[in-house]
Amino acid sequence: MIRVTYSTCTRYPNFTIISERSAMDDSGKSVVACLRKHGVSRRQFLEFAGLMTATLALPPHYQAQILHALEQKKKPILVWLEFQDCAGNTEAMLRSSHPTVADVVLDVLSWEYHETIMAGAGHQAEAALARVIREEKGKYMCIVEGAIPTADGGVYCTIGGRTALDIAREVCGSALATISVGACAWDGGLVKSYPNPTGAVGTQEAVPGVKVVNLPGCPHHPANTAAVLVHYLTFGEMPALDSYNRPLFAYGKIIHDQCERRAHYDAGRFTEEWGDEGHRKGYCLYKMGCKGPEANYNCPTVRYNDATSWPVKAGHGCIACASPRFWDTMSPFYKRLPNVAGFGVDVPVGKIGVAVIGAVAAATAVHLAAVTVKGHAHHDPSEEDKTLVPPSHSIKRED
């Protein structure tokens, strides 16, 4: 059996070496047994289970069920395909370290193929992928990163002499389930943005009919990937999804409702320009183009960089990177745009979600009208009109 091995790399300090020998020794072991072998303590494992319970928005008592499942279940087999992208999602996954998401997700899974980071190359690497498809058909998970070009027969991305389109159709078509990570794998992302010369599309469009769980974001948050896998190991099924096949636990809430600057928004305290007193005091960034009122994602709660921060906390408005076609529909990122096709389409599933978004949009407009009168009466109203475009004009559902 050819077993692909991973090597150490100073860029990826969290990526534990999995030698050929240890990978083979681990086969058939439970997740917890593998964790112990790779030096993850019981305390770290409990922390991880707690994080997963919170990320999945489950009540605390589910932590015991998750622990039990991870102690019993065997390591799942996983392949990672990377196509047209910047490798940002691979970087995000490998950089995660709190609490040892990389240890848990990377070390304990049977990673059979990841062309970006695997030590094997060329024919050896492709042989490993072929073996998984042949011997583990219908049993392995496939993670896709990057868009898939379809123009001119898909020639704009080829690996081992095969087009990304051909590879995706074979690998995803034989997988137990496919997870698309990042904006590009979801709906084409940056690569599909106008004018899209390569005819790029996301996984679910390139491989119609396969079961895809989408984890958009630029990059996606690795805690959500871990949570999807843990949900599958614990409950034997993928989590509930919205109409874009995004997990509701991660994409069911509007960013605006989870934002620490929300109190400033409600009080009518806005940053008026970059670096002004309001910006330094952490005031709301809506006037600077923040798309938080119309974007769904859990990044305000899971946060990046060891769960320390996210863009709005760092002082930059949300660009709605987990929303449909955000490069085209949400840019320019520093202005609110009215009447742009697709703008404001990021909604929770079902009519209730539409109503909620509509209510938020309407409330945004009403709120801004109110604070303009109350708190900013000294401003030139024409100036307000330039920056405060109520999103209620453009709320559409794109089903």
- What residues line the site for ligand SF4 (CB under 6 A)? 255-256, 259, 261-262, 265, 284-286, 290, 292-293, 312, 317-318
Q: Which is nearer to ligand SF4, 199 or 292 (CB)?
A: 292
Q: Say whether 258 sits in a helix, a strand or coil.
A: helix
Instruction: Output the smallest distance, CB 257 to ligand SF4, in A.
Output: 8
Of 50, 331, 94, 44, the residue nearest 220 (C-alpha): 94
Q: 178, 207 in Cβ contact below 8 A?
A: yes
Q: Which is nearer to ligand SF4, 151 or 314 (CB)?
A: 314
Name, in order, each residue with C-beta under 8 angstroms of 96's C-beta and a sequence gap of 6 or more.
Answer: 14, 102, 105, 222, 223, 306
Instruction: Output the smallest distance, CB 365 to ligand SF4, in A.
Output: 13
Please count the CA atoms within 13 angstroms of the CA of 344 that sit on its side-chain side: 25
Q: Which is nearer to ligand SF4, 244 or 265 (CB)?
A: 265
Q: Taking the CA atoms of 95, 99, 103 and 105 in sequence, report the sign of the dihedral they define.
A: negative
Long-range contacts of 381-384 (CB under 8 A, 24+ apart): none
Taking the C-alpha atoms of residue 213 and residue 236, their distance in angstroms, rounded to an integer, is 15
Instruction: Output the smallest distance, CB 300 to ligand SF4, in A.
Output: 8
Instruction: Output the smallest distance, CB 287 to ligand SF4, in A.
Output: 9
Q: Which is nearer to ligand SF4, 317 or 348 (CB)?
A: 317
Q: Which is nearer to ligand SF4, 173 or 268 (CB)?
A: 268
Tokens 């084409």, residue?
Answer: 188
Torsion angle (degrees, nearest 10) of CA 106, 117, 147, 81: -60
Instruction: Output the smallest distance, CB 179 to ligand SF4, in A.
Output: 27
Taking the C-alpha atoms of residue 113 and residue 143, their distance in angstroms, rounded to an integer, is 10
Instruction: Output the smallest distance, CB 223 to ligand SF4, in A.
Output: 20
Residue number, nearest CB to ligand SF4: 292
Q: Which is nearer to ligand SF4, 176 or 365 (CB)?
A: 365
Q: Which is nearer to ligand SF4, 239 or 311 (CB)?
A: 311
Instruction: Output the smallest distance, CB 295 to ligand SF4, in A.
Output: 8
Burial of 235 (0-12, 13-18, 19+ CB in 10 A): middle
Instruction: Output the smallest distance, CB 363 to ligand SF4, in A.
Output: 11
Q: 173, 142 in Cβ contact below 8 A?
A: no
Q: Which is nearer to ligand SF4, 23 or 318 (CB)?
A: 318
Q: Taking the CA atoms of 15, 17, 18 and 20 in sequence, report the sign of the dihedral they define.
A: positive
